């Protein structure tokens, strides 16, 4: 499935009715996700990546902007709720809270299969469930009659992926799918995503703050900062040679598991994180090492630069 | 069903639960006996008055010439019925208002919460007094239960709402949605397990409140005291000055019964609340297996 | 160099009872190691391997259901030796913060929500020094300036601070008395990368400045690579490998360490990697023999029957594996 | 300024709204009930003395006037508001022609004196004792106290009060049977009068304090127990802070927040709570007044008491809401 997002804006109203403050969580964001591609939204907490995902999933209303699923506008597509949820599925961040601890795992799996008309009897459903579980390296026997907290985080995240695959979706949103999973199990889950595009042609929106797994798994990347996409392009190109100063900062902050790479230069931490949303110029101007006068006055436009987009005055 | 039996057997390990269920069981048994009573509870002076306990009348007779044991049996039946009606009514309203308000949000939420707040500031006691004195002749125990129920849901509706509000933000609610679950399934499967402690604790609490309220109304003479209830037993006992005349069996019967009933309900709610606490319940699922 | 912490055969279990069912969680199951003065000693391992519990025991904080079963933790300060598992409550309170302090996991809720940050610092100073109120007031400011933290934070309530700032405040709180040993439990977990780097920087600065000893627990091997000088890897309540960090990353000996390090994706490398099969064992139901054998690709029959001891293979390396002979 | 706009005004609107709805309900309930109070009074009067139909009509008219039952429902409603705003609750039926407001003015000090004092005492003692019970829950002293309170707590108030009466008025007669002061005492601010009032007030106060204390203690105990497991309390223990410091600045400070709400609500609710005490101890307060009013269908008195009751609870809630930002910084800086 091809997803097109154009000029997406989401403004939250904070405070009470008497002292409204507008917070632009997603600020004029545009991107495409191609069929069978893993597209990654990368950024720190509060950069708007999760809000963007929620809008794509129909869980949040956009303030402005357009979204198309294979040319169909989101508003039209979502009208048939069953069809929408069949085509668009998600995997959440924390496997321990993805499932209600008082509900059996199989409850979720059977409901998904039966409600979306994938199978019409429990026997057939069980076969389909077993099939999808085997994709993630598990079987129905392991899951039968058991509750979520009888599983480890890694297992739960596999089940979560299998559940999302049950409806044979064309688009999968994965919101930080491995950040709560143990290191030894993380890569095997990331590998599942790697295969999804190749084996099933599913488009994946992979949301994360972890550049290492993004580099490993994503085809294209968009780096978000305070609601803006500041840099977008081919993952390898962007991360091997970042252009935007924020991408550079992100990259050098990744703790690489190799003691020989040392951190020489020091980083400055913003103490005014909330204020950065409300600045009128470039939102990174406050801590950018290359800041110019224009950066403080005017928000930079999206600039095409060697096959990628950068939102920075340096490249004008 | 198997799960329920298992839970009961687990609860039985708790001495609090054991005590309260034995006492309540006994009281319920006595109240059921009323269906086999040899006497009509509304007829006075069928028996010699003020007889101390004997084999014929195990709790003696009172100043109205009635057998105290059989009066007690009818009274317990009526008081318990009233309590259950009040508890069911107030729980149903509290859950309905709380869940609707928290789940739907928006204008519905504001409207329902405005209503709830009003009921919170209402001076329930004087108002109920006024009401019951006005319709004294219509006040059968179930009607009184209904009235008490209608006036005692507001606090818990707020608690339910705030719990639903926080549950609504949980990730598993989104999973349920993407698994195609219906609103009913989400409420039953995702919300109710977390609301159980407040439902059960509130149920027992409003039972206690309703019984106590009936006793107060009866002592004050604001209900039809001819109907045998725990409260009317107090009423006649005080009215006939049984205390001053030294008819200890008549004085002690309602007092001991009331204390037994209230302590049993109280310990039952403590024990059940401990058992239903979601934190320990989640852990127990694994340990039990 | 002088050994400041000596841990011997430490065993600490959680005894949990539910409605008549008793379970024993062997969180720390026979751990021994030594830490030298001025070192940054890293403890690595996945969730549920007992590393956080170990740190609590090192701090002398064993509260039911956690109970110390065996072993000792001996601190060797200039003047005296101290077995923290066997000192009384009074002495423990005097030693804590002044000599040994603790940076907790997740600073979200460790600061009293109704108390200003400055007050919390002054509580600590009032308890452990004989400073007057005014002296304490300025001492806190001086320390914040030295660490490069904004002073306005002092007059805020904890909920007004961002997660990263709260974590840095917590670190400052743990180090204001310049303790000899600092125990840090996952100090960078749940922080954004840039903030995480700032926190690591802060810990390093404090270490260089105060010449203290740092014992740091984290599951993030990347953080260990940048912070720890020596690392031990825990698995199922035990240390399976211990080595200086450059050797650990370059040439891991234990199969678990090997798989763990090789499974980490890194920037600039898209080659396919494989994860470790299976899942970590439950600490209340350990497999017989080597606890890693069900997941180990090179397990032999001996691994299923007997547990390997942690043996010294080189001067500064120890491994617990039948495949590696000392 | 921002505080007034975003905090004060919405709350005052809410306050007015609650008062209006509450009073409207009080207005509606008797009118919706199937019984006509005038009819009821007429019936009882007519049983005693025979009257001509014209006289009955006359009496009925006068009664309807007194009750505010003249005209359409809407007119009655508007009239009620007009009178309420003037502080005019009409005359009492029982003590005709004494105005209701005077009756209330005479009863109010007794109720407020007894109930406010006992509520404050039991709240404060409950807070202190409950904190002790919760923080040192393993000591045997704490266990004994908890057991005692758990035994007292479910006992219904009237049984408890009756037992006290039996014990201290009949078995060991050290307190007077009831009343606010001895018959024949002159109501004046003299030493002997005050002593008399205290003597009469002790037993009802005791009954309220003991039951209240057990409730507040157990509530605080649970709060403190839960708070003791909070990360910041555990961390304060790790920091080596003294138990006093932790109890006072870390535990109690946080336990206060919900308990102050509780105090406010029960202070607001003293009119409702007063009734049983005052009747059992024949204490001359609002409760007794309400009791007599209900028995004699003294409708205006009931309306007036309900009105004050609503105002009291709503005002208590408003004051709490306004105080909350001062106690809890999390609300102040939202």
Give pLDDT, residue C125: 93
Whole-number average pLDDT of chain C: 89
- Does an H or E element contain A210, and which? none
Q: Are B124 and B152 in contact (CB under 8 A)?
A: yes
Q: In whole angstroms, what is the distance from residue C239 CA to residue C237 CA?
A: 7
CA distance B161 to chain A (A): 19
Mean pLDDT of chain D: 82
> With an 8 Å Cβ cutoff, is C157 touching chain D?
yes
B287 with C20: Cβ contact below 8 A: no
CA distance D149 to B35: 38
| B110 neighbourhood in chain A, CB within 8 Å | none
Beta strands in A122-234 (DSSP E): 171-175, 203-208, 220-225, 228-234
A17 reaches D (C-beta below 8 A): yes
Q: Is D149 a residue whose pLDDT tops 70?
A: yes
Burial A237-266 (b: 16+ CB within 10 A, else e): ebbeebbbbbbbbbbbbbbbbbbeeeeeee
Pairing of strands A228-234, A220-225: antiparallel
DSSP state string for D15-26: HHHHHHHHHHHH
Statement: residue D37 has pLDDT above 70: no
Contact B121, D317 (CB under 8 A): yes
pTM equals 0.84
Reading the block at residue B98, the tokens are 């709380």
Highest mean pLDDT among A16-25, B156-165, B275-284: B156-165
Query: Does residue B122 register a pLDDT over 80?
Result: no
Cβ neighbours of residue C44 closer than 8 Å, sequence gap 6 or more: C51, C218, C219, C221, C224, C231, C232, C233, C234
Q: CA–CA distance from D43 to each of D51, D175, D291, D299 (Å)?
A: 11, 42, 21, 16
Q: Residue C326 above 60 pLDDT?
A: no
**Alpha carbon distance D264, D314 (integer Å):** 10
Give the C-alpha separation, A146 to A105, whole Å. 6
Chains adjacent to D (≥3 CB pairs closer than 8 angstroms): A, B, C
pLDDT over 60 at C146, yes or no: yes
Structure tokens at C292: 């890693």
Over residues C97-134, the pLDDT tens digits come to 999 999 988 767 899 988 999 999 999 999 999 999 99
**Subunits with 3+ C-beta pairs closer than 8 A to C:** A, B, D
pLDDT bracket for residue D186 (50, 70, 90): low
Task: Tell me whether C61 touches chain D (CB under 8 Å).
Answer: yes
Closest-CA distance of chain D to residue B260, Å? 9
Express each pLDDT in C266-300 by its tens digit. Answer: 888 888 888 888 888 888 888 999 999 999 988 88
| Residues 6 or more apart in contact with residue B249 via CB below 8 angstroms | B52, B53, B59, B60, B68
Total Cβ atoms within 10 A of residue C131 = 14
Matching residue, tokens 């029957």: C305
Model pLDDT, residue B289? 42
Residues of D within 8 A of C61 (CB-CB) are: 238
Q: How confident is the model at residue A62, as a pLDDT?
A: 93
Query: Smallest Cα–Cα separation from B103: which of B28, B52, B173?
Result: B173
Strands in C21-36's sheet, in edge-to-edge order, are C21-36, C3-18, C66-76, C81-83
pLDDT tens sequence across B166-183? 898 889 999 999 999 999
User: Which residues of chain D does B138 touch, with a Cβ-Cβ cutoff of 8 Å?
Assistant: 34
- Tell me if C3 sits within 8 A of C81, measured CB to CB: no
Chain C residues whose CB is inside 8 A of the A187 CB are 263-265, 273-275
Counting as contact any 3 or more CB pairs under 8 A, the partners of B are A, C, D
Residue D63: both structure tokens together: 């009664």
d(CA B145, CA C176): 63
> Residue B8: closest CA among chain C residues belongs to which residue?
C19
Q: How confident is the model at residue C16 (pLDDT cuts 50, 70, 90)?
A: confident
Local confidence band at C42 (pLDDT 50, 70, 90 cut-offs): very high
**Res B288: pLDDT:** 45
Supply the ipTM of this predicted assembly: 0.84
- CA trace torsion D293, D295, D296, D302 (10° rounding): 30
- For residue C301, the tally of other CB atoms under 10 A from its CB is 10
CB-based contact (8 Å) between D235 and chain B? no
CB within 8 Å: B280 and C20: no
Q: Is any Cβ of chain D less than 8 angstroms from the Cβ of A20?
A: no
Give the C-alpha separation, B161 to B171, whole Å.
18
CA-based nearest distance A133→chain C, Å: 15
Residues of A in contact with D5 (CB under 8 A): 18-19
**Cβ–Cβ of B284/C19 closer than 8 Å?**
yes
Tens of pLDDT, residue by residue, chain A (316 residues) = 899 999 999 998 765 545 567 788 898 899 999 998 999 999 988 888 999 999 999 999 999 999 999 989 999 998 988 899 999 999 999 888 999 998 999 999 999 999 898 888 999 999 999 999 998 888 999 888 888 888 888 889 999 999 999 999 999 999 999 888 887 788 888 998 888 877 888 999 999 988 999 999 999 999 999 889 999 999 999 999 999 999 999 998 888 888 887 676 777 665 555 566 677 788 888 888 888 888 888 888 888 888 899 999 888 7
**Closest-CA residue of chain B to D41:** B134
B71 pLDDT tier (thresholds 50, 70, 90): very high
Over the stretch A58-101, which tens digit does the pLDDT of each residue have?
999 999 999 999 989 999 998 988 899 999 999 999 888 999 99
Tell which wins on pLDDT, C121 or C193: C121
CA angle at residue B272 from B269 to B276, to 5 degrees? 135
D5 CB near a chain A CB, below 8 Å? yes
Q: Quote the Cα angle for C134-C138-C139, to 5°.
A: 110
Nearest CA in chain A to C295: A184
Residue of A nearest to B188 (CA): A103
Does residue D299 carry a pLDDT above 90?
no
Contact C112 D253 (CB under 8 A): yes
Contacts of C270 in chain A (CB under 8 A): 215-216, 236
* DSSP-assigned beta bridge partners for residue C234: C239
Q: Which two tokens stand for residue B176?
A: 């349920």
* Residue A275 pLDDT: 64
Q: Give pLDDT tens digits for D58-71.
A: 777 777 777 777 77
Chain C positions in Cβ-Cβ contact with residue B14 (cut-off 8 Å): 19
The predicted-structure confidence for D207-241, as pLDDT tens digits, reads as follows: 999 999 999 999 999 899 888 888 999 999 999 89
- Read off the pLDDT band of D45 (50, 70, 90): low
The residues in C 65-124 lying below 8 A from D, measured between CB atoms, are: 92-94, 96-97, 102, 104, 106, 108-115, 119, 123-124
| β-strand partners of D214 | none
The reported pLDDT for the residue numbered D208 is 92
Nearest to A111 by CA among A101, A93, A99: A99
CB contact under 8 A, C270 and A257: no
Task: List, for residues D71-93, the tens digit of each pLDDT value.
Answer: 788 888 888 888 888 888 888 87
What is the mean pLDDT of the segment spanning B200-205?
91
For D120-138, the pLDDT digits (tens) are 999 999 999 998 898 887 7
Contact A255 C225 (CB under 8 A): yes
């Amino acid at each position: 499935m091809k997803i097109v997002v154009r000029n997406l804006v989401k403004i939250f109203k904070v405070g009470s009715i008497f002292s409204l403050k507008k917070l632009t969580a997603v600020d004029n964001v545009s991107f495409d996700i191609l069929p069978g591609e893993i597209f990654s939204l990368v950024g720190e907490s509060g950069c708007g990546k999760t809000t963007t995902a929620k809008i794509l999933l129909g869980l949040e209303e956009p303030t402005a902007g357009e979204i198309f699923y294979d040319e169909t506008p989101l508003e039209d597509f979502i009208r048939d709720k069953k069809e929408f949820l069949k085509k668009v599925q998600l995997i959440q961040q924390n496997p321990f809270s993805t499932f209600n601890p008082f509900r059996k795992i199989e409850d979720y799996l059977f409901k998904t299969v039966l409600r979306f008309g994938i199978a019409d009897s429990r026997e057939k459903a069980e076969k389909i469930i077993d099939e999808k579980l085997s994709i993630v390296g598990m079987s129905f026997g392991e899951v039968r009659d058991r509750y979520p907290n009888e599983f480890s985080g890694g297992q739960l995240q596999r089940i979560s992926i299998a559940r999302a695959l049950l409806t044979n979706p064309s688009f999968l949103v994965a919101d930080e799918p491995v950040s709560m999973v143990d290191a030894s199990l993380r890569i095997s889950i990331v590998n599942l995503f790697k295969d999804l595009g190749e084996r099933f042609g599913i488009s994946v929106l992979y949301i994360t703050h972890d550049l290492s797994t993004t580099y490993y798994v994503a085809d294209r990347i968009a780096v978000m900062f305070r609601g803006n996409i500041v840099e977008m392009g081919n993952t390898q190109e962007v991360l091997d040679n970042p252009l935007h100063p924020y991408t550079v900062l992100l990259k050098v902050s990744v703790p690489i598991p190799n003691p020989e790479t040392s951190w020489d230069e020091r980083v400055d931490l913003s103490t005014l994180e909330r204020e950065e949303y409300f600045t009128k110029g470039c939102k990174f101007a406050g801590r950018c090492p290359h800041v110019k006068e224009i950066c403080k006055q005017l928000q930079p436009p999206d600039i095409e630069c060697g096959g990628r987009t950068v939102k920075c005055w340096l490249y004008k | 069903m198997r799960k329920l039996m298992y839970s009961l057997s687990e609860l039985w390990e708790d001495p609090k639960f054991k005590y309260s269920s034995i006492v309540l069981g006994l009281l319920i048994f006595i109240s059921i006996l009323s269906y086999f009573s040899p006497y009509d509870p509304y007829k006075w002076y069928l028996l010699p008055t003020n007889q101390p306990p004997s084999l014929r009348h195990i709790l003696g007779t009172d100043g109205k010439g009635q057998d105290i044991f059989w009066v007690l049996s009818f009274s317990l039946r009526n008081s318990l019925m009233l309590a259950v009606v009040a508890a069911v009514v107030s729980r149903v309203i509290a859950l309905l208002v709380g869940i609707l308000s928290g789940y739907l949000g928006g204008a519905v939420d504001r409207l329902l919460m405005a209503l709830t707040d009003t009921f919170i500031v209402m001076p329930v006691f004087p108002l109920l007094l006024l009401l019951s004195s006005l319709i004294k002749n219509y006040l059968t125990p179930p009607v009184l239960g209904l009235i008490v129920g209608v006036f005692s849901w507001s606090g818990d509706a707020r608690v339910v709402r705030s719990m639903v509000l926080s549950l609504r933000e949980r990730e598993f609610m989104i999973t349920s949605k993407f698994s195609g679950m219906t609103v009913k399934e989400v409420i039953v499967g995702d919300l109710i397990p977390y609301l159980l402690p407040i439902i059960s604790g509130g149920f027992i609490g409003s039972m206690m409140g309703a019984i106590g309220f009936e006793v107060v109304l009866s002592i004050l003479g604001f209900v039809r005291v001819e109907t045998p209830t725990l409260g009317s037993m107090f009423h006649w006992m005080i009215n006939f000055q049984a205390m001053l005349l030294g008819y200890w069996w008549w004085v002690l019967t309602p007092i001991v019964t009331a204390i037994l009933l209230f302590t049993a309900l109280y310990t039952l709610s403590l024990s059940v609340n401990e058992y239903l606490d979601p934190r320990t319940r989640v852990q127990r699922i694994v340990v039990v297996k | 160099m002088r050994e400041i912490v000596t841990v011997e055969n430490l065993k600490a279990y959680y005894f949990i009872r539910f409605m008549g069912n008793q379970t024993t969680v062997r969180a720390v199951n026979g751990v021994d190691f030594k830490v030298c003065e001025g070192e940054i000693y890293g403890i690595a391992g996945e969730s549920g391997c007992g590393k956080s519990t170990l740190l609590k025991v090192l701090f002398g904080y064993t509260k039911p259901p956690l109970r110390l079963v065996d072993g000792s933790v001996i601190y060797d300060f200039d003047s005296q030796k101290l077995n923290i598992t066997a000192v009384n409550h009074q002495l423990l309170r005097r030693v804590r913060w002044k000599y040994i302090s603790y940076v907790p996991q997740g600073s979200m809720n460790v600061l009293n929500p109704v108390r200003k940050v400055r007050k919390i610092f002054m509580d600590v100073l009032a308890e452990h020094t004989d400073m007057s109120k005014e002296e304490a007031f300025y001492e806190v400011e001086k320390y914040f300036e030295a660490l490069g933290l904004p002073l306005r934070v002092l007059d805020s309530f904890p909920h007004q601070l961002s997660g990263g700032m709260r974590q840095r405040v917590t670190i400052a709180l743990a180090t204001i008395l310049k303790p000899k040993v600092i125990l840090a439990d996952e100090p960078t977990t749940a922080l954004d990368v840039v903030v995480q780097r700032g926190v690591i920087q802060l810990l390093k600065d404090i270490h260089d400045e105060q010449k203290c000893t740092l014992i740091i627990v984290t599951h993030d091997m990347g953080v260990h690579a940048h912070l720890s000088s020596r690392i031990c890897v825990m698995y199922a309540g035990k240390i399976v490998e211990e080595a200086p960090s450059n050797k650990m990353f370059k040439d891991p000996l234990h199969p678990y360490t090997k798989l763990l390090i090789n499974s980490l994706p890194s920037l600039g490398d898209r080659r396919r990697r494989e994860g470790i099969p299976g899942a970590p064992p439950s600490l209340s139901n350990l497999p017989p023999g080597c606890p890693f054998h069900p997941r180990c690709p090179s397990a032999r029959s001996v691994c299923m029957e007997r547990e390997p001891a942690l043996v010294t293979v080189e001067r500064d390396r120890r491994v617990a594996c039948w495949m590696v002979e000392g | 300024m921002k505080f007034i706009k975003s905090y004060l005004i919405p709350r005052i609107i809410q306050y007015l709204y609650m008062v209006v709805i509450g009073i409207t309900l009080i207005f509606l309930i008797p009118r919706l009930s199937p019984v006509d109070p005038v009819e009821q009074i007429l019936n009882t009067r007519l049983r005693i003395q025979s009257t001509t139909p014209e006289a009955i009509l006359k009496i009925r008219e006068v009664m309807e006037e007194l009750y505010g039952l003249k005209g359409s429902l809407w007119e009655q409603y508007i009239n009620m508001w007009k009178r309420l705003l003037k502080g005019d609750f009409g005359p009492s039926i029982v003590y005709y022609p004494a105005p209701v407001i005077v009756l209330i003015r005479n009863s109010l000090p007794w109720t407020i004196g007894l109930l406010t004092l006992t509520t404050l005492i039991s709240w404060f003692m409950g807070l202190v004792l409950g904190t002790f019970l919760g923080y040192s829950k393993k000591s045997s002293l704490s266990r004994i106290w908890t057991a005692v309170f758990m035994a007292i707590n479910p006992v219904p108030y009237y049984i408890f009060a009756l037992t006290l009466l039996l014990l201290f008025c009949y078995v060991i007669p050290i307190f007077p049977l009831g009343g606010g002061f001895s018959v024949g005492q002159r109501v004046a601010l003299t030493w002997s009068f005050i002593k008399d009032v205290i003597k009469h007030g002790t037993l009802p106060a005791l009954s309220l304090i003991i039951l209240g204390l057990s409730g507040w203690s157990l509530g605080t105990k649970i709060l403190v127990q839960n708070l003791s497991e909070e990360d910041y309390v555990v961390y304060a223990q790790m920091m080596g802070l003294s138990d006093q410091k932790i109890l006072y600045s870390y535990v109690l400070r946080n336990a206060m927040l919900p308990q102050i709400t509780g105090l406010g609500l029960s202070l607001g609710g003293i009119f409702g709570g007063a009734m049983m005490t005052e009747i059992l101890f024949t204490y001359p307060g609002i409760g007794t007044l309400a009791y007599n009013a209900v028995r004699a269908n003294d409708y205006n008195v009931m309306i007036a008491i309900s009105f004050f009751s609503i105002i009291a609870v709503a005002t208590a809630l408003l004051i709490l809401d306004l105080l909350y930002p001062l106690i809890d910084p999390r609300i102040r800086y939202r």
